[in-house]
Amino acid sequence: MINKRSLWFFTLFSLILVLSIYYITMPSELLLTTNKKTVDTQTNSEPTISVEESDLLVALRVESDEEMSNEIEELQLVLTNTESSVDEKNKAYEKIKQLNDNRGEEEKLENQIKENYKLDSFVKINNGQINVTVNSSEHSSSLANNIMRTIQSNYEDSKYITVKFQK
């Protein structure tokens, strides 16, 4: 008797096999013509590399997200490890919770800067220090001071806030 799991496996395996055979027997001229069209369009114009204003902010966000995900993975290993003590698991859970809270605060501050000053920014909170990178060609100390005051208004205790302008 064939059960449902075996039937699904056989169906999907057959589909993959048919598609593989089709790809292998596909005429190579079809592949060459599509590649030739893309090569022709690329050779007509010189490759240009343009860095947009927000590329720096995107790179900073990606780097921050990678660091955060790596740290969360390590902490989740501690949580799922059967040999970890209850105290270690509690500390790991609290650290994950703190990382998620910091991410929420960072997004809130970025949105606040966007609403108040119409500027794209990247905010990183690390051990009570708040680093702000603003995407602006204007390097004004009064603007930086206003951004710091806006951020500080969200907290009761004083925070160490730095503002850096990048174009």
24 occurs within a structural domain = no
Contact 96, 127 (CB under 8 A): no
Residue-range definition of the domain harbouring residue 100: 55-166
**pTM tops 0.75:** no
30 occurs within a structural domain = no
Contact 130, 151 (CB under 8 A): yes
35 occurs within a structural domain = no
Cα-based distances in Å from 131 to 29, 60, 106, 121: 55, 12, 10, 10
Domain count, the chain: 1
45 occurs within a structural domain = no
pLDDT in tens, 147-159: 999 999 999 999 9
pLDDT in tens, 9-58: 888 888 888 888 877 777 766 656 555 555 555 555 555 555 454 678 88
Residue 164's DSSP bridge partners are 133
Q: What is the CATH number of the domain that holds 127?
A: 1.10.287.4300
Cα separation, 56 vs 68, in Å, equals 18
39 occurs within a structural domain = no
